[in-house]
Amino acid sequence: MTAAARQAVFLDRDGVLNRAIVREGKPYPPALLTELHILPGTADALAVLQAAGFLLIGVTNQPDVARGTQRREVVEAINAALLAALPLAEILACYHDDRDRCVCRKPQPGLLFQAAATYGIDLPSSFMIGDRWRDVEAGRRAGCRTVLLDYGYRERRAESPLDCTVSSLPEAAVWILRQLYTAKGGGK
């Protein structure tokens, strides 16, 4: 990592920062601002990561906008509420669906590359936390270490090897801090 490069933790939004709405074993984003519920321990976990020097950036797919079942203004209101409540530098959103074949829709790493260019982030020393295969695959493709929050969704599983699987964001933060401490020669 160069002296000017920064380490970041990229975080998926729904299911990582806030509660996903789970129907028939599949996660969905809140449809309204009133359905937004920040997950327990999220603010504290992010504060600890920020105190350790990580830049915190949300990266989210919001294909319901392209599908016409969600308004962009609602997504942006939810993002604004999260930014007001949590120590995030930014939330980057992809509003496309798979058929658009964009570079920003996870599992493509475009949002991570965009953030790296904007903030001078060293991707190999950074982390991607997500609750779905698309999230961790985007992190892997960007060269980040990956953390899956495994909620047992009934959907496709990550095909690439994961660096860590946990059941909550606070657990992910502990694992990341352990990696940071080890990298700095503080332990085995």
pLDDT at 116 over 80: yes
Average pLDDT over residues 145-170: 93
pLDDT at 1 over 90: no
Decide if 132 contacts 153 (C-beta within 8 A): yes
pLDDT score of 111: 98
Strand order in the sheet with 8-11: 90-94, 55-61, 8-11, 127-130, 145-149, 164-166
98 given a catalytic annotation? no
CA–CA separation, 117 and 24 (whole Å): 38
Give me 95's structure tokens.
């509003």
What's the mean pLDDT when you consider all of the chain? Answer: 94
Residue 156: band (very low, low, confident or very high) from pLDDT cuts 50, 70, 90:
confident
Nearest to 166 by CA among 178, 154, 182, 181: 178
CA–CA separation, 10 and 122 (whole Å): 12
pLDDT at 4 over 70: no
Exposure of 99 in the CB half-sphere (CA atoms within 13 A): 3
Residue 75: band (very low, low, confident or very high) from pLDDT cuts 50, 70, 90:
very high
12 given a catalytic annotation? yes
pLDDT score of 5: 83
pLDDT at 29 over 60: yes
Residue 148: band (very low, low, confident or very high) from pLDDT cuts 50, 70, 90:
very high
Domains of the chain plus CATH, in order, are: 8-183 (3.40.50.1000)
Residue 188: band (very low, low, confident or very high) from pLDDT cuts 50, 70, 90:
very low
Q: Which of 14, 64, 131, 135 does the annotation list as catalytic?
A: 14
pLDDT at 24 over 60: yes
Q: Which of 12, 64, 131, 163 does the annotation list as catalytic?
A: 12
